[in-house]
Structure 1
Amino acid sequence: MDIGVVISTIGVMGILITIGALFAHHVNMTTEVKYVFILMIINIAVPSVILNGVFSIDMSGETLSLAAQVFGISLAYHVLSLAFVWIFARMLRFRSTFAVKMTVLGALGNTGFIGIPLAATIFGPMGGFLAAIFDAGLSVVNYTIVIYLLKAEGKFRFSQLKALINGPVIAIIAGIIIAVTGFHPPQVVNQLTSMLAGLAAPMAMLYVGMLLPPLLKKKRKIMFPQLWFPVVFRLLLVPLTVMLIFNLISFDGWTANMIVLQAGMPTAMALAVLFSRYTDEEDTAVVTIFSTTLLSLLTIPLLAMMML
């Protein structure tokens, strides 16, 4: 992994976030504006990153086997990460419901919105494709275990799984079908997906920056004393633990590096939606998301240097 590429990529991310924040001072961030950005990123840009990866790499049986391995690692990682953070939350004697919220915010990262474009930039099309597979594991955990934990009545309904049918997941399924059938899309499709894939990272960072000023303008106190807990676990303790485990089992190479960086992503943006729907502490999620996103501009290069 080229540390220079990581540092320059993170530097560009920081500049784009700043531009987005400056832009938000002159534009009213209405619900419609947010919806357009989310729609374009989740349903157009990120799926294009995935399909561009499929079109640009050799989707052999070995590649599909690696994708299955990454998906299995992702499921195990996200479940064990929740258990790992939960143990410490209870050791610190957080009350039961608050411990659950701190656990979710500290354990689950933004492997899709930020992770997929970042992996594609650093590791190339194959990195973007495997990052999407890794993010699919997070989606399964989000819309099953996480909703179960956040809902006061603690009930799981199969209707919750409808949220798994989204743009990135559809793109993954389409990509696998294309790989299995050996279909070669026309050049115009390759060029289109390549161009749209280039929008993912810039749009995601601009969106993050545009949401920051409205958050800071809120008159009531939005910070909370325990903010350090999800920040430390999300950005440092969880990825460092993954790195240690990989060293112990001698799992290395660029795939391992990609997974460690995914483990060091800031708190998942999807949690703001889940907290808004299933709890009365949406601001807790939003503050954690922005705090970890801004600090990740420092911690991600640090993780990259530690993997050299």
Structure 2
Amino acid sequence: MTSKLPEYVKVVEVGPRDGLQNEKEAIPAEVKIELVNRLSSAGFANIEAASFVSPKWVPQMATSAEVMAGITRREGTIYSALTPNMKGFEAALAAGAAEVVIFSSASEAFAQKNINCSIEESIARFQDVAAAAKANGIRLRGSISCSFGCPYQGAVEPAAVADVVRRMRDLGCDEIDIADTIGTGTARHVQQVMQTVASEFPLTQIAGHFHDTYGQALANIYASLETGVAIFHSSVAGLGGCPYAKGATGNVATEDVLYLLHGLGIRTGIDLDQVVDAGQFISAHLGRPAASRAGNALAAKRRTA
């Protein structure tokens, strides 16, 4: 374990995709476009903006092509799209995605329940997508759900996570996300997993994707920083949730993550004030307070200043 924290951390904003996809009420494309534009202006190096999955399964993402066509692209920002198959990849390519995201699970039980196949079969399904991404010069990111616990099988061994990391590495992934889908991870467990996967893939290309269901996300990010991880996913205003975990509060809030990182003297290149504004904007549209403590506190501080 390294005791020196990174000087710079890349924060991947997943609110427009992972955060909004479970919202039941349809969100107009122009609202999503405005959200992405606000996040782009804040300085994110990577924004997960779209998902080219069947509208039958994820109706909220049916406007992804319209969103990708309507956003103002900031130079230096990677706009990512989730692509479950070749049809999704072709749509992402046409929409100008600079990165496509493929996904599997560290839990066999979750893979069977969620995507109706084994982990091995899920990886095999993405071979064509991976090859097409490489052929077209598009970044390929792999995401591994249930890396710290599964709603069906319970505990997930670090070795099982490392095995999927190895498989995704062999597909040619440029970056791999270690995701705590149901938010059950704790700091020491997170460090064990990160240290184990480091034997298969460089930690500099590993991302932590933490949900805050049990209030452990910030602690888990700090624990990951101590191991040398310097890429983290977060969702503006804490948007999102997990349908498999009762009481899930969704992705860790970007405002809270930035407040932590900036307080540690770690550079992100992101303007926290602009992210607070973006969080308040989307929360006002959704008709509920943001789930970010730092965001709400900073917004309240402005109002009373």
* Interval containing the TM-score (normalised by the shorter chain): under 0.3
Higher strand share: 2
Q: Decide which structure has the larger Cα Rg and report it.
A: 1
TM-score (norm 2): 0.27
Structure with more contact order per residue of length (Cα contacts < 8 Å, sep ≥ 6): 1
Higher helix share: 1
